[in-house]
């Protein structure tokens, strides 16, 4: 997450994430599911500009994406309000959000925007919050928010808010395919069958730390992929297309609908993208991004 301060305002880049491993352990009494997941931040960014103002005491959000709520239910507004209430901030805020991360795509666009807002207000108001305090605040907002204070990679447990940084042995090159339809996380979890014997992710963590991308590709796993494919056949179709292009591995990220291919290197990522373009049907509305793990 990049931060730049200038004349009473802060500018931020908020990265997307992919899940290299996601297992569901059990359903909790609070209605959430206990997870283990390995997440990596990638170079697909939303941008935020946050300005403190004296003219009013409200949180005002504007966004370039029509149809996205800019009201108090937006995670950016919720993050800003949490900081204002917790630390007694009285100044008004004007926030401009430019979206590039697709919505409802399993890339945590809303969560990363919320994390950027927390980090931006920490810098803008000189609150002096350290990484652990920001992680705790993020956990109050949503399951994926805390991860963005521990990039580039982390092993996340609980409902996703307990974060343990993981070494990244070498950069990862990936190709994301985002179908034009999003998926509801609640609906995907509603179709999930919790496994009797959940998989452990020690192998993929070790491979990531060692920089063994071929082994990472062999160990990709997402328990949510099967129910997501039932709800959205396009996820299965793109996964099958990616399989035919022969990357190191392919997987859906989060609760979908984005699928990604793990490439051998930047040149291989370009090859995969060229072959994908030949497979895309004209007007299908899907979006393809070449990304790399963040520094």
Dihedrals phi, psi of 132, to nearest 5 degrees: -65, -40
Q: Is 253 left (phi over 0), alpha (psi -120 to 50) or beta?
A: beta
Structural contact between residues 186 and 65, judged by C-beta atoms closer than 8 angstroms: no
Residue-range definition of the domain harbouring residue 181: 173-292
pTM of the model: 0.96
DSSP 198: P
Indicate whether 141 and 193 sit together in one domain.
Answer: no
Query: For residue 10, what are the β-bridge partners?
Result: 5, 50
Query: For residue 154, what are the β-bridge partners?
Result: 39, 165
123-163 pLDDT, tens per residue?
A: 999 999 999 999 999 999 999 999 999 989 999 999 999 99
**Cβ within 8 Å of residue 279, ≥6 positions away:** 241, 245
Indicate whether 178 and 112 sit together in one domain.
Answer: no
Quick one: pLDDT at residue 6? 82
First vs last Cα of the chain: how many Å apart?
A: 10
Indicate whether 67 and 98 sit together in one domain.
Answer: yes
Indicate whether 37 and 92 sit together in one domain.
Answer: yes
User: Considering 46, 113, 144, 268, which one is annotated as catalytic?
Assistant: 144
Q: What CATH number is attached to the domain comprising 37?
A: 3.30.230.10
**Long-range pairs for 166-171: beta carbons < 8 A, 24 or more residues apart:** 166/38, 166/205, 166/208, 166/209, 167/208, 167/209, 168/40, 168/208, 168/209, 168/211, 168/293, 169/208, 169/209, 169/210, 169/211, 169/212, 170/211, 170/213, 171/292, 171/293
Q: What CATH number is attached to the domain comprising 233?
A: 3.30.70.890
224-263 pLDDT, tens per residue?
A: 999 999 999 999 999 999 999 999 999 999 999 999 999 9
- DSSP string for residues in 20-87: EEEEEEEE-TTS-EEEEEEEEEEEEEEEEEEEEESS--SEEEEESSTTS--STTSHHHHHHHHHHHHH
Biggest alpha carbon–alpha carbon distance for the chain: 57
Indicate whether 63 and 139 sit together in one domain.
Answer: yes
Q: Known catalytic residue: 91?
A: no
Pairing type for strands 259-263 and 173-178 reads antiparallel
Indicate whether 60 and 133 sit together in one domain.
Answer: yes
Indicate whether 140 and 238 sit together in one domain.
Answer: no
Query: For residue 46, what are the β-bridge partners?
Result: 14
Q: Known catalytic residue: 73?
A: no
Nearest Cα to Cα of residue 179 among 100, 85, 258: 258
Q: Count H helices, E strands: the chain?
A: 9, 12
Quick one: pLDDT at residue 245? 96
Residue 295 has pLDDT above 90, yes or no: no
Indicate whether 124 and 73 sit together in one domain.
Answer: yes
Residue where a domain terminates, one of 144, 165, 186: 165
Quick one: pLDDT at residue 176? 98
Total number of domains constituting the chain: 2
67-106 pLDDT, tens per residue?
A: 899 999 999 999 999 999 999 998 999 999 999 999 999 9
- Please give the average per-residue pLDDT across 26-38, as a whole number: 94
> Which parts of the chain are beta strand (E)?
2-6, 9-27, 33-53, 59-63, 92-98, 153-157, 162-165, 173-178, 221-222, 249-252, 259-263, 287-292
Query: pLDDT-derived band of residue 294, with 50, 70 and 90 as boundaries?
Result: very high
Distance of CA 177 to the CA centre of its chain: 14
Indicate whether 131 and 177 sit together in one domain.
Answer: no
User: Considering 17, 46, 173, 268, which one is annotated as catalytic?
Assistant: 17
């Amino acid at each position: 997450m990049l931060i730049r301060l200038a004349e009473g305002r802060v500018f931020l880049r908020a990265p997307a994430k992919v899940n290299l491993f996601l297992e569901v352990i059990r359903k909790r009494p609070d209605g959430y599911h206990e997870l283990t997941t390995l997440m990596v931040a990638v170079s697909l960014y939303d941008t935020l500009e946050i300005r403190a103002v004296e003219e009013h005491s409200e949180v005002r959000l504007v966004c370039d994406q029509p149809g996205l709520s800019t009201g108090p239910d937006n995670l950016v507004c919720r993050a800003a309000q949490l900081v204002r209430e917790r630390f007694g901030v009285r100044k008004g805020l004007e926030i401009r959000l430019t979206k590039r991360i697709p919505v409802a795509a399993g890339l945590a666009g809303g969560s990363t925007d919320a994390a950027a807002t927390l980090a931006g207000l920490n810098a803008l108001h000189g609150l002096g919050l350290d990484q652990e305090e920001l992680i705790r605040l993020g956990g109050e907002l949503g399951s994926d928010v805390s991860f963005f204070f521990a990039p580039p990679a982390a092993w996340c447990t609980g409902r996703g808010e307990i974060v343990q940084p993981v070494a990244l042995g070498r950069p990862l090159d990936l190709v994301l395919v985002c179908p034009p339809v999003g998926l509801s996380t609640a609906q995907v979890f509603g179709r999930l069958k919790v496994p009797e014997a959940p998989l452990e992710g020690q192998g993929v963590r070790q491979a990531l730390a060692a920089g063994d991308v071929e082994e990472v590709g062999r160990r990709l796993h997402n328990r949510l992929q099967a129910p997501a494919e039932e709800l959205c056949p396009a996820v299965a179709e793109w996964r099958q297309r990616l399989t035919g292009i022969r990357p190191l591995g392919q997987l859906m990220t989060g609760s979908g609908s984005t699928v990604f291919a793990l490439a051998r290197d930047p040149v291989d990522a370009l090859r995969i993208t060229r072959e994908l373009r030949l497979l895309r049907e004209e007007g299908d509305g899907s979006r393809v991004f070449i990304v790399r793990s963040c520094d």
